[in-house]
Structure 1
Amino acid sequence: MTTQPRDASHPTMQAISYTGAGGREVVTVVDSEIPVAGPGEVLIRVHAAGINRADLLQRAGNYPVPPGAPDGPGLEVSGTIEETGAGVGPWEFGTPVCALLTGGGYAEYVAVPEGQVVPVPDGVSLIDAAGLPEVAATCWSNLVMEAGVQAGDWVLVHGGTGGIGSFALQLLAALGARPLATAGSPEKLERCLELGAEAAINHREEDFVERVREITGGYGADVILDVIGAKYLERNVDALARGGRLVVIGLQGGGSGTLPLGKLMGVNGSVTGTLLRPRPVQEKAEIMRQVRDQVWPLVSAGKIRTTTDTAFPLDRAAQAQDRFEEADRTGKVLLVTEAAAADTADAVHPGAQRHRP
């Protein structure tokens, strides 16, 4: 990682940029202009940013930035309201919030559409809240809004101890569904059970299709949440119950596979592939509205718990991404800015508000 010198005569912020496609050598600390809150936006003074697999895919050149989005990595942050743009509701200056982004979260400030900004859930620290928006929005939008999970449904979650998987298992258990999980070690299998899975399947030693059929008494999975993609495509269809829904949200096992249409039609099943990042602002706003109303109460009640593995200073983003890829990681990896040391989670300035007309 390299660092560009600061110019103290200009109001700039520290941010992380990629100098091209590659490995950790392209991760660069730069000084850039502090963004302005445009119409319908709020400016957040970032305290922490969450690291996600999409950030590493973008670094490798395999996840193009949507048109109009910031070039820098970072899809979720927590922080405090710094200013608001025209047409934005009455946010108080200093209010603790977290937000879902299209990019640019590895920075000291970020401008975000108001609909993608939500208060920090009760009982969650401002730092830990940085690891919530992306995973909460992904799990809720795919499991509930897309797949229509209901109480009593059998739901198979691949990668049960990953960032998505660990949140999904807790959410499903809280909703009264019957979650199953795959994982690759005895320790991870035990962790899946702790997170709410009714059963955990060792994908290295067992056939998950056979085990799903066995556990469900031959019924199968009503919903499968899959981060693997092509490698599991045919077997996922084999594991579906009649009317089952396969939702593919990741391609860790490849992007091109064979879809057995006869089997899919035979069970009246469906396959959906989704990405969160390129969705229109209006869709993201609706997702975050539902997350605030439906998921945050579960978090505040302790039914869904967040886990932070490690927090790194912003200028150590390359090391943080290294940690993200390590097999023994057990929670979110975060980047923390200097603002986190200067402020506290309850540092709200009552009655004060910065608004840019």
Structure 2
Amino acid sequence: MMKAIVVSRFGGPEVLEYKEIAKPEVQKDSVLIAVKAAGVNPVDTYIRAGSFGYQKSLPFVPGIDGAGIVEEAGEGVSKFPKGQRVFFQGVMGSYAEYVVCPESHVFALPPSLSFSQGAAIGSPYATAYHGLFQCAEAQAGQSVLVHGASGGVGIAAVQWAKSHGLSILATAGTPQGRELVLGMGAEKVFNHYEEGYVEQILDYTKNQGVEIILEMLANKNLEKDLSLVADRGKIVVIGSRGRIEIDPRNILRKEARLIGVNLFLATPTQRKSIFSAIEAGLMNNTLRPVIRAEIPLEKASLAHEMILKPGAAGKIILVT
């Protein structure tokens, strides 16, 4: 048996129940991992609420990112012996003491990183890479605006952009967040709560706009992005929490491209490229997850409340 967070009905954070359930058994070509830390992502809250576009069969254990120690390797697994420190991504069930993952979704955790940092890698860094380089096809020397740059995906995007030679502008809502993002290599960070910040960005770019915009909250910012994007630029929608009305003429006027990002649709070839790049970035220290808070697993409902509040400065982690 093991302790886990279980969702038995869709709803708010209160539906996250801490209870004892059966410990999973290792399968062929899979790894049983003793989870030490689980990453909390906005998508976890959408899946919990049943509002992600598909509904997970009930009951289920949420969470798609985590880190821990290999407890047992299944038949056919050769890369990860018992005792190996690992992180994993893309397998539902990380809000638990144990999880079974296909070997292809498990990666070695460098000794220089904590389990909490390992749990902060998967979806944020994979999503940022997929959006920036596979969807937007960003190149060295281009300009990028990262909205919400002090959150998990935002931090990852800034680090990726810095390591690939892009010119980085960013927004963040708190002084702490702006200082954090500047320290990671952003050229200029704007306060997205300050009236007139759109005009400030346009002034900074001499009214040329930005070639690539990474948008974490499209329901708030998409119309503004159409003012900020350069001619023939790209707006990459990574997150949204509702609807927004826009004028499509602003898209055609600039010949702009509006691109949605869904890591679940990444092809096997794309995933291989993503995680090869992540492993290389962790080894050369260009990628370093930032932890905002470590919360006991049994308080997962608190973590889900926190992640949807403004003022992020790093990643929220559940620890077992």
Task: Indicate whether the TM-score tops 0.5.
Answer: yes
Q: Tell me if the contact between 1:154 and 1:178 (Cα under 8 Å) persists in the aligned partners.
A: yes
Q: Tell me if the contact between 1:115 and 1:288 (Cα under 8 Å) persists in the aligned partners.
A: no
Question: Which deviations, in whole Å up to 9, do the C-alpha atoms of 1:281-323 show, x marking residues without a partner?
Answer: xx2x544433432233333333332222222222222233344
How far apart are the structure 2 equivalents of 1:70 and 1:136? 28
> Are residues 56 and 295 of structure 1, via their aligned partners in 2, closer, same or farther at CA, if it must alter by over 3 Å?
same
Q: Is 1:203 the counterpart of 2:189 in the alignment?
A: no
- 1:305 maps to which residue? 288
- 1:123 maps to which residue? 112
RMSD: 2.5
Write the letter of the residue equivalent to 1:319: L
Question: Which deviations, in whole Å up to 9, do the C-alpha atoms of 1:239-276 show, x marking residues without a partner?
Answer: 22222111111113x2343242x332333321111222
> Are residues 93 and 48 of structure 1, via their aligned partners in 2, closer, same or farther at CA, if it must alter by over 3 Å?
same
Write the letter of the residue equivalent to 2:19: V
Q: Is 1:135 the counterpart of 2:124 in the alignment?
A: yes
Q: CA deviation at 1:73?
A: 1.1
> Are residues 70 and 274 of structure 1, via their aligned partners in 2, closer, same or farther at CA, if it must alter by over 3 Å?
farther
SS of residue in 2 equivalent to 1:107 = coil
How far apart are the structure 2 equivalents of 1:109 and 1:291? 25
Q: Tell me if the contact between 1:155 and 1:177 (Cα under 8 Å) persists in the aligned partners.
A: yes
- 1:250 maps to which residue? 239
1:279 to 255, 260, 265: 265
Q: Which runs of 5+ in 2 are unaligned?
A: none
1:99-110 matches, within 5 Å, as 99-110=88-99
TM-score (norm. length: structure 2): 0.89
How far apart are the structure 2 equivalents of 1:241 and 1:122? 42
Q: Is 1:148 the counterpart of 2:137 in the alignment?
A: yes
Q: CA deviation at 1:332?
A: 1.8
Q: Is 1:294 the counterpart of 2:277 in the alignment?
A: yes
Q: Is 1:192 the counterpart of 2:181 in the alignment?
A: yes
- 2:254 maps to which residue? 267
1:219 to 193, 204, 208: 208
Q: CA deviation at 1:153?
A: 0.9
> Are residues 248 and 329 of structure 1, via their aligned partners in 2, closer, same or farther at CA, if it must alter by over 3 Å?
closer
Question: Which deviations, in whole Å up to 9, do the C-alpha atoms of 1:68-108 show, x marking residues without a partner?
Answer: 79822111010122233444444211211101124211011
- 2:34 maps to which residue? 45
Q: CA deviation at 1:165?
A: 1.1
Q: Which runs of 5+ in 1 are unaligned?
A: 1-11, 338-357
Aligned length in residues: 320
1:83-102 matches, within 5 Å, as 83-102=72-91
Q: Tell me if the contact between 1:155 and 1:223 (Cα under 8 Å) persists in the aligned partners.
A: yes
- 1:346 maps to which residue? none
Q: CA deviation at 1:62?
A: 2.1
SS of residue in 1 equivalent to 2:45 = helix
Write the letter of the residue equivalent to 2:235: L
How far apart are the structure 2 equivalents of 1:34 and 1:101? 19
Q: Tell me if the contact between 2:147 and 2:170 (Cα under 8 Å) persists in the aligned partners.
A: yes
Q: Tell me if the contact between 1:41 and 1:112 (Cα under 8 Å) persists in the aligned partners.
A: yes
Write the letter of the residue equivalent to 1:255: R
How far apart are the structure 2 equivalents of 1:125 and 1:315? 20
Q: CA deviation at 1:328?
A: 5.1
How far apart are the structure 2 equivalents of 1:286 and 1:80? 27
SS of residue in 2 equivalent to 1:127 = helix
> Are residues 119 and 65 of structure 1, via their aligned partners in 2, closer, same or farther at CA, if it must alter by over 3 Å?
farther
Question: Which deviations, in whole Å up to 9, do the C-alpha atoms of 1:131-167 show, x marking residues without a partner?
Answer: 1111111111111111111111110111111111122
Q: Tell me if the contact between 2:6 and 2:59 (Cα under 8 Å) persists in the aligned partners.
A: no
- 1:315 maps to which residue? 298
Q: Tell me if the contact between 1:122 and 1:300 (Cα under 8 Å) persists in the aligned partners.
A: no
> Are residues 243 and 86 of structure 1, via their aligned partners in 2, closer, same or farther at CA, if it must alter by over 3 Å?
farther
How far apart are the structure 2 equivalents of 1:62 and 1:299? 33
Percent identity of equivalent pairs: 33
How far apart are the structure 2 equivalents of 1:43 and 1:147? 36
